[in-house]
A and B are shown apart, each in its own frame.
Chain A
Amino acid sequence: MLRKSYTSGLMFMVIAGLAAQPVFAETPDQILASIQNDAKATPGFQGFSAARGESFFKAKHGKESSCVSCHTDNPAAQGKHATTGKPVQPLAPSANAERFSDPAKVEKWFKRNCNDVLGRVCTAQEKGDVLTYLLTIKK
């Protein structure tokens, strides 16, 4: 009897402990893998490059703002919305564990921000390059 309640108590603690953890549906690597799957559909795909991602991240693409306008040129640092001044939490997963953990969010922000910066959607190649670059950033 005593043993049983002890076990169920332990079980309860384990479950409660699991529930208290922040739930991230996926890891950035899983998200990168799924982008890679999309990219493979393009003929001539030769993998992602952190260097290409970095220059994409820091360049202007014919619009007034670029990625660094809000995220700053250090993705591990806190940024600031270019128009409203609202703080933007760090983008690099090493500095902010929430980043690239929710596929729906990744989708939403790539869609919105690529449109702001390029005036079109980003290709899987571009997304993969940028995420590869972001994963190289140390805190």
Chain B
Amino acid sequence: MKRVLVWDVPTRLFHWLFATSFAIAWLTSENDQWLSVHTFFGYLMLGLIGFRLIWGVAGGHYARFTSFRYSPMAGLAYLRQVLSGSGTRYLGHNPAGSQAVYLLLALGLAVCITGLFTQGGEEQQGAAAGLMSIAAGRMVKEGHEITAILMLLLVFGHLAGVAVESWLHKENLPRSMVTGIKDAPEDAPASRPYRLTGAMMLVAVTAFGAWWFFYALHHPIEKRLGYGEGVPHVAFVGTKLPDNAQWREECGSCHLAFHPSLLPARSWQRMMAEQEKHFGTDLALDESTSKALLDFMVNNAAEKSAREAAVKINSSIKPEDAPLRITETPYWVKKHQDIAESDWRSAKVKSKVNCGACHQDAEAGTFEDAAMHIPR
């Protein structure tokens, strides 16, 4: 027996980065506040999978697909062997573990791609922004959730396998995935460490993280929305909405200039037709101003927008209704029904008209999921 390097540095880095990415992406999936973190680890996983596919051809001996090319039948046969307590010890991936590797890579790829299209469809953001409708994005989201659950189950299977193998062959497999070293027969080939490739991986991941969190997200949203310090989380930057200086001036003097995409055209038409009783005030706008405002609002009304809020608000309103308050639209009501009464009454919120209390990007009109934070 001798000590042999089995898992080269890039393979070990891949393993732990992939595991960590999946764990964090799973944990940040429920709360929109962490969407930017969730998405970062999604992109990272995608990159890691791409690397692993290349490394399966170009990497160290035990990392190459040719060293663990087993059929699913061989995997099942090996599982039966292990369950009867007589599994052969493999230095690299055993036949069952190989199936886990292939399936995890395939499912990981499916999770990443469905995630990409969920974000591109539902939020019209990210690398796949605009390639899919919101409705299609919602269907892809189902697939995203199912593949993620399957992947989690497979991770549990993988962990069980590691535990059983470690016990069966009296060796510490998790430690080997850290050190790379295993006890091996004299004739076993050793892998090269590939330290330089590993270092390059670390540099690439760090650079990507720095770019993502300090530039791609944080910097622009703070700059664009004029925030100072103390933004509690990183908000997402979507596409900029159509803007109009006159509209912002006229509609934004007394209240937030509610973006036209938050109500259908018929609501804006009614709003201007009834401007002499605009929530208790006679707007008394002259004809040319009224027309200019109405033109901007109708041209950019909810039905003209592919934004999530616009599409969902618009489809929730009955065709015969033309609500004047966004807070009266069924989608708004449903979306806000779980907010505690105490949060509404809080001094930082006070009123439903105060969108900006929780939606950092209310002024921009984008209402990104990740820009929502209830002040407490």
Cβ A112 vs Cβ B354 within 8 A: no
Instruction: Kindly provide the distance from the CB of A139 to the nearest chain B CB, expressed in whole angstroms.
Output: 22
Of B256, B279, B282, the contact of A86 (CB 8 Å cutoff): B256
| Residues 248-276 (chain B) with a chain A CB within 8 angstroms | 252-256
Of A81, A84, A115, the contact of B282 (CB 8 Å cutoff): A115
Q: Mark B274-287, 1 if CB is under 8 A from A, else 0.
A: 00000111111100
Q: Mark A71-97, 1 if CB is under 8 A from B, else 0.
A: 000000000010111100000000000
Of B252, B253, B279, the contact of A83 (CB 8 Å cutoff): B279
Cβ A115 vs Cβ B281 within 8 A: yes
Instruction: Kindly provide the distance from the CB of B357 to the nearest chain A CB, expressed in whole angstroms.
Output: 9
Cβ B351 vs Cβ A86 within 8 A: no
A85 to B347, CA, bound (A): 11
Cβ A84 vs Cβ B281 within 8 A: no
Cβ B284 vs Cβ A115 within 8 A: yes
Judged by a CB distance under 8 angstroms, whether B353 is at the interface is: yes
Cβ B255 vs Cβ A86 within 8 A: yes
Judged by a CB distance under 8 angstroms, whether B350 is at the interface is: yes
Of B256, B283, B284, B285, the contact of A84 (CB 8 Å cutoff): B256
Cβ A112 vs Cβ B350 within 8 A: no
In the bound complex, residues from chain A placing their C-beta under 8 Å from that of B252 are 86
Of A81, A108, A115, the contact of B254 (CB 8 Å cutoff): A81
Of A81, A86, A112, the contact of B284 (CB 8 Å cutoff): A112
In the bound complex, residues from chain A placing their C-beta under 8 Å from that of B281 are 112, 115-116
In the bound complex, residues from chain B placing their C-beta under 8 Å from that of A115 are 281-282, 284
Judged by a CB distance under 8 angstroms, whether A40 is at the interface is: no
A111 to B284, CA, bound (A): 8
Count residues of A near B (Cβ-Cβ below 8 Å): 10
A85 to B346, CA, bound (A): 14
Q: Which residue of A lies closest to B254 (CB)?
A: A81
Cβ A81 vs Cβ B283 within 8 A: no
Q: Which residue of A lies closest to B278 (CB)?
A: A112
In the bound complex, residues from chain B placing their C-beta under 8 Å from that of A81 are 254-255
Q: Mark A102-115, 1 if CB is under 8 A from B, else 0.
A: 00000010011001
Of A85, A111, A112, A116, the contact of B351 (CB 8 Å cutoff): A85
In the bound complex, residues from chain A placing their C-beta under 8 Å from that of B254 are 81, 83-84, 86
Q: Mark A21-36, 1 if CB is under 8 A from B, else 0.
A: 0000000000000000
Instruction: Kindly provide the distance from the CB of B146 to the nearest chain A CB, expressed in whole angstroms.
Output: 44
A108 to B354, CA, bound (A): 25
**Beyond A108-B284, A111-B284, is A85–B279 a contact (Cβ under 8 Å)?**
no
In the bound complex, residues from chain A placing their C-beta under 8 Å from that of B255 are 81, 83-84, 86
Q: Which residue of B lies closest to A115 (CB)?
A: B282
In the bound complex, residues from chain B placing their C-beta under 8 Å from that of A84 are 254-256, 351, 353-354
Instruction: Kindly provide the distance from the CB of B103 to the nearest chain A CB, expressed in whole angstroms.
Output: 55
A81 to B279, CA, bound (A): 13
In the bound complex, residues from chain B placing their C-beta under 8 Å from that of A112 are 281-284
In the bound complex, residues from chain B placing their C-beta under 8 Å from that of A83 are 254-255, 279-280, 351, 353
Q: Which residue of B lies closest to A70 (CB)?
A: B254
In the bound complex, residues from chain B placing their C-beta under 8 Å from that of A111 are 284
Instruction: Kindly provide the distance from the CB of B188 to the nearest chain A CB, expressed in whole angstroms.
Output: 73
In the bound complex, residues from chain B placing their C-beta under 8 Å from that of A85 are 350-351, 353-354
A7 to B105, CA, bound (A): 71
A33 to B279, CA, bound (A): 34
Instruction: Kindly provide the distance from the CB of B48 to the nearest chain A CB, expressed in whole angstroms.
Output: 47
Q: Which residue of A lies closest to B249 (CB)?
A: A105
A108 to B255, CA, bound (A): 17
In the bound complex, residues from chain B placing their C-beta under 8 Å from that of A108 are 284-285
In the bound complex, residues from chain A placing their C-beta under 8 Å from that of B350 are 85
Instruction: Kindly provide the distance from the CB of A119 to the nearest chain B CB, expressed in whole angstroms.
Output: 10
In the bound complex, residues from chain A placing their C-beta under 8 Å from that of B253 are 86
| Residues 99-134 (chain A) with a chain B CB within 8 angstroms | 108, 111-112, 115-116
A111 to B282, CA, bound (A): 9
Contacts A84-B351, A108-B285 known; 15 new A-B pairs at CB < 8 A: A81-B254, A83-B254, A83-B255, A83-B280, A83-B351, A84-B254, A84-B256, A85-B353, A85-B354, A86-B253, A86-B255, A111-B284, A112-B284, A116-B281, A116-B282
Query: Closest 9 A-B residue pairs measured CB to CB?
Result: A84-B255, A84-B353, A111-B284, A115-B282, A81-B254, A86-B255, A112-B284, A116-B281, A85-B354
Can you pick out 28 interface pairs between chain A and chain B where the beta carbons lie within 8 Å of each other? A81-B254, A83-B255, A83-B279, A83-B280, A83-B353, A84-B254, A84-B256, A84-B351, A84-B353, A84-B354, A85-B350, A85-B351, A85-B353, A86-B253, A86-B254, A86-B255, A86-B256, A108-B285, A111-B284, A112-B281, A112-B282, A112-B283, A112-B284, A115-B281, A115-B282, A115-B284, A116-B280, A116-B281
